[in-house]
Structure 1
Amino acid sequence: MPVMSLRPAPIGQFAHQTRARIHDGVAVFTADVLDQQRAAQLRATAAQLTGSGPFLVQGLTVWTDAGLNALAGDDHGPSGALIAPPARLLAASPGAALDMFPSVHSAVTALRHPPSPLPLPPAGADSQTRSAHRVFTTEPTAMFGARHWIRGLLADWATKSPTDRALVAFSELAAASVATTSTQMHVSVNLWRDPDGALALTVGVRDDDPVLAPAGGRRQDSLRLVAALSRDMGLYRQAADPAGKVAWFTMPVTPQADVSQPCHSDRGRHSC
């Protein structure tokens, strides 16, 4: 899938299309288009708002490789991260050295607090409905066990499709992101409602390798398949102990029963 391209627009038009707010001391921009010129403007504005700290960009729909690279930054200025990027972005630009978080909530949590050994919930909304976590070894049978566990969770949580689609996306995401040197695979499954009340499913996979960019070939083919099956997708790193990275995807789901009451499982040992 080719990287999307765009024509540069005047800074005035860029400023009109972009909104900024501060969330827990972190600058959060809403911008639908990102080229090199816009990325430079975002970095300059973030430096004025919060200094040299990181900033977040959400709402992106059109981009260039130059824009993504400029957002990441290669100097001592503030660096950017993306929030809930479209799944096709990571599939088109797997080498982008950018953290891509499920939500502003999870991004600020990762930036402001010590990292968790498990993937951060939820994606897209600050209030989650269902959550489960479980740790699997990376032995050959682990993928079967993880898929069986996820299928059981979704059955317990009374969701309709896309169970099969979610299982395929999980398998391909793990194949693309989990390093062969990792001994454990931390899996997080979250069912949540977005601000409009729609139900969504986010699955995260964590390993102990903080390198973000997946290799080409088969791994990039896996990312393309996940992009075709999901709505949003990304990777973000955990540089501190425990070091590693989290890969995640989000897709809409249809409820069969009321799942409005929050519930949290004990590391996924049982569902709720």
Structure 2
Amino acid sequence: MDNPPIQGPIFLIETNKISPNPHQPRRDFDETALRELANSIREFGILQPLIVTKLEKENETGTSVEYQLIAGERRWRASALLGLERVPAIIRNTNLEKDRLELAIIENVQRENLNPIEMARAYSKLQDDYNLTQREIATRLGKSREAVANTIRLLNLPTPIQESISKNQISESQGRLLLSVPDLIQQQSLFDDLLKNNMSVRELKSRITKLNKPAEPELTQPAPTNNPENLFLQKQLEELLGTKVKVEKSGDSGKITIAFYSQEELQSLIQKLSSTGGENQPL
């Protein structure tokens, strides 16, 4: 992304008088990347000035001036690694913490410096600590309200999944798909498969669609009804066999269930049925 146009005069400010913004939305500063940036600065200089705000503090000898970063912490850290005494910076006058956070977010968004989780935390802080609505946040950042809402929802994911999004192991879109799985065990299983098999967004969506699809109800046969004839036959069989019998009939077909409770009882039933069949007694 091209650097946005520089607005305001540029000053050379002592590096040791600049402090990081405690509300800086960016959390991850990779040491290897910082050393690479330091090497670039050593060769080409700082191409884009830092953005700071002035902090005046009263002390015994008068007023001391310090500066707090709004944007450019990576450049400031890399400059400190090189031992640079001064860095170019633009001074923005703002005294409210909310404005400093808002400016830090805007500057980082313009440079596409924040990962989705850092962005979500920043939006959430503006919403919870400074009472901005999602629509107000969206308007200030030039985004849609839905985009802001979807990004904040990423904070509902378990910490390991958030960390994977921060490290670019999975995408923001894949993270939002995992949010649609309410069962945490199933969600974790899908997340593990996602890391192991490097599934695409389409493949993950297909898996989740199948997982969330309600099971089709099984077709069951209507329960047979016991009419007086069935009950009469059932009673006759119970008297003949000396155990519980169930007669189920549907149309011209059906089944007879005979209960037994031991191996001996089963052998006795077999003998009774054999002898009954030989005598050809009507039921």
TM category, shorter = under 0.3
Question: Normalising by structure 2, what TM-score?
Answer: 0.24
Greater relative contact order (Cα 8 A, min sep 6): structure 1 or 2? 1
Which structure has the larger Rg over C-alpha atoms?
2
Given the two structures, how large is their TM-score scaled by the length of structure 1? 0.25
| Structure in which a larger fraction of residues adopt helix | 2
